Structure 1
Amino acid sequence: MSIARRLADLFRVKANKALDRAEDPREVLDYSYERQLEMLTKVRRGVADVATSRKRLDLQVTQLQQAADRLQAQATQAVDLGRDDLAREALTRRAAVTAQMGDITAQRDALSAEEAKLTTAATRLQARVEAFRTRKETIKATYTAAEAQTRVGEAVSGISEEMGDVGMAVQRAEDKTSQMQARAGAIDELLASGAIQDATATTAGRDDLQAALEAARGDQGVDRELAALKAGRSAPAVGGGQARPEVTSGQPEQERQR
């Protein structure tokens, strides 16, 4: 299969899908009904035209019949007057009129038969159009009810496009909320462990020792040294003697040497 053929087939498939989505069966039924009404109108117009022509021929036949009767009367009068020549002329004209009347009568009969056929066809077509109209309204009502039921079902089940968009928006909001909560919890844990410092916290009153203590948090060696230092300060003096009292800074140098 050539590329052009494949592209043409693909275009037709896409076009059919697009038309199927855009097509409303109710509109199609209404359009079909309108076309049938137009056809019925044309058939009725044809019946009217044939009836008009047939009526015109009827009038011509009537006029020719009257002319033939008049010529017959003239021929009779000519015979009574002994004018055979005039009687012969009247009869000749009457024969021509009779022949013409026969032709027109044949045409009229043909038109009458055509009028009868068209009338029967118009009656049948009208019956079909009325039946189609009834079926059309039934199908439209059924389709409308099914469409409404489908929309309600989609709205309730949440599978419609609108409800699907709402569900996706809610899901995205929940995901972002969970992500933000996890981020906030992680930041709180980092602040509590000292991995990061609170930039908004004040640094007033913090000396170098406090900073060193915070920096040395978790160092086991420093903790052991601190424990040993505390143990040495709390142990009694060597040799069993009493601890030498501390000398305040206000005592004189001589008293400190005694």
Structure 2
Amino acid sequence: MTSISHRIAALFRTKANKALDRAEDPRELLDYSYVQQLQMLQRVRRGVADVATSRKRVELQVNQLQQSTGRLQGQAQQALAAGREDLAREALIRRTAVASQITDLEGQRASLRDEEEKLTLAAQRLEAKVDAFRTRKETIKATYTAAEAQTSITEAVTGIGGEMGDVGVAVQRAQDKTEHLQARAGALDELLASGALEDGTLSAGRDDIQAELETATAGQDVETEMARMKAQLASSSQAAVEGGEPAKRGESPKDPPDQEATS
């Protein structure tokens, strides 16, 4: 059961990776990485500024304490001149304490200066890397955009792309439909020429009276032809009668009378 769960999880990870590969744009990833590096550089610079501010504050404290030591030294001399050794001793004790603070602050200032130099160097190196990454980023983005445009043009020319493929299918369908209509028009023309179909434009205006007139005219044509044939037959019979009836079967025609005997 565990192996099945692992296989299902692996399948989902594979599908998710494929979906992410299709969805992600490397140019957006490069821009996001560049923004992250800029933010990191900004944090380093703020760190340098914070360390420099702390160092400057320590230096101000050192200057104030040094001024305090000078003042205490003068007070001790004045008290000793006035015969107040106790006051002179107290001023010198305070001056010693202030000098000890100055020593501690000088150590802190040196440490902060070293930290500031390290952070400044790191910021400079990081800034150089960010600038180099920005240049490479723009180069990669330009190359990717050019490759994407070239791919789109090639797909458009070859018809591999989805949109151009749809256009090709639409053109093929239009061509098939045009050929079908042309074939249908040719077949109808042949049927009209052969008389299998009638021209609807000629019969569109005909009514019942026109149909009866055409029927009557057709009947008259038939009667006229019958009369002509009968007349032709009668003429043939009359010509035969005038030319003499033919001799009966088996008899020879009589000799004409002798003219001499008659005379």
- TM above 0.5, yes or no, is yes
Mapped partners of 2:9, 2:189: distance in 1: 62
- Aligned residues: percent identity? 68
* Residue aligned with 1:78, SS: helix
Mapped partners of 1:96, 1:138: distance in 2: 62
Q: Which moved more, 1:38-47 or 1:11-20?
A: 11-20
Instruction: Give the Å deviation of 1:190.
Output: 10
What residue is the counterpart of 1:124 in the other structure?
A: 125
Instruction: Give the Å deviation of 1:187.
Output: 9.2
Asked if residue 162 in structure 1 is aligned to residue 163 in structure 2, the reply is: yes
Unaligned runs of 5+ in 2: 204-210, 216-232, 235-263
What residue is the counterpart of 1:25 in the other structure?
A: 26
What residue is the counterpart of 2:14 in the other structure?
A: 13
Instruction: Please state which structure has a larger fraction of its residues in helix.
Output: 2
Cα displacement string for residues 129-182 of structure 1 (whole angstroms, at most 9, x for unaligned residues): 111111111111111111111111111111111111111223334445566677
Cα displacement string for residues 53-74 of structure 1 (whole angstroms, at most 9, x for unaligned residues): 1100100000011111111111
Mapped partners of 1:121, 1:89: distance in 2: 48
Unaligned runs of 5+ in 1: 207-245, 248-258
Mapped partners of 1:144, 1:24: distance in 2: 11
Mapped partners of 2:108, 2:134: distance in 1: 38
What residue is the counterpart of 2:88 in the other structure?
A: 87
Instruction: Give the Å deviation of 1:119.
Output: 0.4
What residue is the counterpart of 2:255 in the other structure?
A: none
The letter for the 1-side match of 2:110 is: D
What residue is the counterpart of 1:151 in the other structure?
A: 152
Q: Where does 1:173-188 land on structure 2 (aligned, <5 Å)?
A: 173-176=174-177
What residue is the counterpart of 1:44 in the other structure?
A: 45
The letter for the 2-side match of 1:70 is: R
What residue is the counterpart of 2:66 in the other structure?
A: 65
Q: Where does 1:136-147 land on structure 2 (aligned, <5 Å)?
A: 136-147=137-148
Q: TM-score, normalised by structure 1?
A: 0.69
Instruction: Give the Å deviation of 1:101.
Output: 1.5
Q: Where does 1:95-244 land on structure 2 (aligned, <5 Å)?
A: 95-176=96-177
Asked if residue 77 in structure 1 is aligned to residue 98 in structure 2, the reply is: no
What residue is the counterpart of 1:231 in the other structure?
A: none
Change (3 A) 1:182 1:4: farther
Change (3 A) 1:127 1:157: same
Mapped partners of 2:181, 2:67: distance in 1: 109
The letter for the 1-side match of 2:46 is: R
Mapped partners of 1:197, 1:155: distance in 2: 48
Cα displacement string for residues 178-205 of structure 1 (whole angstroms, at most 9, x for unaligned residues): 666778889999999xxx999x8x9x89
Q: Which moved more, 1:170-179 or 1:180-189?
A: 180-189
What residue is the counterpart of 1:254 in the other structure?
A: none
What residue is the counterpart of 1:54 in the other structure?
A: 55
Larger Rg: 1 or 2?
2
Aligned-pair Cα RMSD in Å:
3.5
* Residue aligned with 1:159, SS: coil
Mapped partners of 1:167, 1:10: distance in 2: 36
Instruction: Give the Å deviation of 1:124.
Output: 0.6
* Residue aligned with 1:18, SS: helix
Mapped partners of 2:50, 2:120: distance in 1: 12
The letter for the 1-side match of 2:52 is: A
Instruction: Give the Å deviation of 1:80.
Output: 2.2
Q: Which moved more, 1:79-88 or 1:145-154?
A: 79-88
Instruction: Give the Å deviation of 1:8.
Output: 2.5
